[in-house]
Structure formats: C-alpha cells, structure tokens
Amino acid sequence: MDNSDWSSISPLISRMDTSGRTVRVTFRCPVTGEEQVAQANIPMEDGVGARVGRTVQRSLLYSVQGAISSAIRSAFGHGMVGRIAGDAAYGLMSEATRSTGATVGALSQADKQRGAEQAFATVRHRFAWDPGRGGWVSAKVAQEVLGAFELRLQQHAPTHPYDRLIMARMLVEVARADGRLADTEQEWLGDCISADVGSVAELSARPVLTAAELGACSPGPVRETLLMMAWTMALLDEDLQASEKSLLDRFAQGLGLNAAKTEEVKRVAQNYILDNAMERMLSWGGHDSHARGQVEQLARRLGMSAQQGQEAEARALRRMSTRR
C-alpha cells in the first residue's frame, strides 16, 4: 500500500497556498514538528500547462537547486525543508509560462488535493510510514536516512549571529565569483538567506571577506559547516570556475582548515548533490541504465569518479528501501 493519497497525507498538512495553478504545501511531522515545503504545478489537460509540467519533472538541475535552497534555509535556522524546494520550481514554471504567454485557470478543490499529493511525492523520501501510528512521520526517526551533510547541519549549525553573517557573505561572494550577480541569482539567494543578516544587495555592497573576519568565526566544526555551504553553492551550476575554486581556497585558509579537512568538506558537498540527484532520478524514472548514466555524468561534472557515482546510487537504493 502506497499511503500517499489525500486521506493519508492530509494530517501532515499545516498550510496550503495556491498561485495560479501552483499549489505550495507545508507538511509537518506530528512527532518532531519538522516541516517540509514542496509544491506542484497542476497543468491543464493539454497544451502548454502539461508541457511545462513535464519539463519541470525531467529537470535534474531543478531538483538539485531545490536541495541547495533547502539546505541554505536550514543552515540559517529555518529547518530542513524538503529537498525539492518550492521556490526553484515556481521560478522555473513561471519563466516557462511567461515565455509561452500561457493563461492559467483557477484550481478546483480536486485540483488542490491532486496538487498536494504530487507535492508530497517530491518530499516523500523525507517521511516514513509508521504502521503503529497509521500515519506518516519524519524520516529522521531513522538516522540511517541522514547523510553526512544533514548531520553536520544538525550537529554543527552556525547559530552565532556573526557566523550566520559570515556564511551569508560567503554565499554571496561565491555567487558573484564570475564577476556578476544575475537578477535571478539575487532573487533566489534572497529567498534563501535569512533577512536578519541583511539583503543580498546589502551583502553585495560589503567589501570582500578578509582572513581576519573569517578567523573570528566560532572555533570548531562550525567552520567546516561554513565552508561546506560555500562549496555546495559553488557546485550548484555543475561547472566550477577557477575564480570560484580560488575563492573557496581562500575561505578555507581564513577559517584555518587544513588540506585534509577542506577535501573532506568538499566531498560531503559533492555527495550531497549527487545523492539528491540519484534519489530524484529513481523517483522519476525508476532504477534503470538511463538513471545510472545521468548520475555518473553528473558525478564527472562535479569532479568525482564513476565509482563515486555508483556509491551514490547504492546509498540512495538503501535509503529508499527502508522507506517502503
């Protein structure tokens, strides 16, 4: 039994919003209170709406972007929301709709329920069915589903206001490493970075971080978390530039992290992106040679080996098998 229909997931829903034919849902675990935010676009039966929906579903980069925006929000204290973040999906769907001049209609109650079911499907891997309770609970109940990335965010999150500010400035500097910050990048970062540390425009106006500023961060593993988030941001476009690598090396030196620790942090960020991609590929198209090939290609673009891609595949299969 799949237990993913409206009657089973409705107890999890703490909030549901609609915009045009987009349904954005907040699912809350009844045990931990952890929230997962996801959204779905309900296409028209045919025409542009359906085509947009299929395009979004097939986009591997979209799923990875969602994971990163979730991670950034979590690092700033917003909670680890779903790996498919609504903001990235909404931006992609809105852009596709604008480019085609499509007109969307109002959603019926049945459409909203269908949208909630589809949204839940994108974050289902973050929940586990509890037969004793007869309902869904957070998958964090089973520690096996948590990877090194998420454990670091749980155990060594940057909670001091200064550390959070430095992290925000690091992310903005990484985004600007190619010499510019596009409007879409600025909007995306603005949705991810906590408002209390400043707007993207304010952070962009600051001078570049100095070794002294980085060295004033809280000592210990939290510094590794800061660098991990910067590496994850840099890898998001799957095309690490020399300017970004130089910046990340400078961050590591300023934070006082040696080469071995820097490599470890980099590997955690790479695995996080790759694991997310693997789970999305399995969810969309099943476990086949196409999914394997896509993830191995992504591994190469991230600077990883085919073996590491296969290891990500195995991890994803193990995690998903425990949730069925």
pLDDT tens column, 160-169: 999 999 999 9
In this structure, the answer to whether residues 75 and 152 fall within a common structural domain is: no
Domain that holds residue 39: 6-141
Q: Is 262 domain-assigned?
A: no
136/173 same-domain check:
no
Comparing 70-84, 94-108, 232-246, 287-301, the range with the smallest average pLDDT is 94-108
The confidence score (pLDDT) of residue 67 equals 67
Do residues 48 and 98 lie in contact, with contact meaning Cβ atoms separated by under 8 Å? no
104 and 208, same domain (yes or no): no
In a domain, residue 102? The reply is yes
Same structural domain, 296 and 241: no
Q: What is the longest distance spanned by two Cα atoms in the chain?
A: 58
> Does residue 72 share a domain with residue 32?
yes
Q: Does the residue 315 lie in any domain?
A: yes
Q: Quick one: pLDDT band at residue 21, thresholds 50, 70, 90? A: confident
All residues at 6 or more sequence positions from 254 whose CB lies less than 8 Å from its CB, including other chains = 209, 210, 211, 212, 213, 214, 215
- 80, pLDDT greater than 50: no
- Indicate if 275 and 226 belong to the same structural domain: no
Of residues 150 and 303, the one with the higher pLDDT is 303
Confidence class for position 44, pLDDT limits 50, 70, 90: low
The tens digit of pLDDT for each residue in 88-132 reads 333 333 333 334 344 445 788 989 999 999 888 888 877 877 665
Residues 276, 239 within the same domain: no
Helical spans, DSSP H, in 107-221: 109-123, 148-155, 161-175, 183-192, 200-205, 211-215
Residue 182: predicted pLDDT: 77
Does position 86 have pLDDT exceeding 60, yes or no? no
Is the pLDDT at 204 greater than 80, yes or no? yes
Final residue in a domain of this structure, among 80, 111, 141: 141
- Whether 285 is in a domain gets the answer yes
Provide the pLDDT for residue 136: 85
Q: pLDDT category, 78, cuts 50, 70, 90?
A: low
User: Do 95 and 170 belong to one domain?
Assistant: no
Whether residues 225 and 272 fall in one domain: no
- 134 and 19, same structural domain? yes
Question: Looking at 109, 141, 173, which one is the last position of a domain?
Answer: 141
> 72-86, 141-155, 177-191, 204-218: which has the minimum mean pLDDT?
72-86
Considering the domain architecture, whether residues 161 and 217 belong to the same structural domain is answered as yes
Is the Cβ–Cβ distance between 46 and 52 less than 8 Å?
no
CA 259, CA 170: separation in Å to the nearest integer?
19
Which of 70-74, 114-118, 298-302 bottoms out in mean pLDDT, i.e. has the lowest? 70-74
Domain total in the chain: 3
pLDDT for 77 = 74
Confidence tier at 152 by pLDDT (50, 70, 90): confident
Please write the tens of the pLDDT for every residue from 215-267.
Answer: 999 999 999 999 999 999 998 866 788 889 999 999 999 999 999 999 999 99
Say whether both 125 and 163 belong to one domain. Answer: no
pLDDT at 57: 35
Residue that wins the pLDDT comparison between 320 and 251: 251
132: Cβ–Cβ under 8 A, 6 or more apart, which residues?
Answer: none
Tokens read off for 180: 């510019």
pLDDT score recorded for residue 194:
86
Q: How far is CA 176 from CA 231, 243, 273, in A?
A: 14, 10, 21
* Domain edge (last residue) among 95, 121, 141: 141
Kindly state whether residue 1 falls inside one of the protein's structural domains: no
What pLDDT score does 198 carry?
92
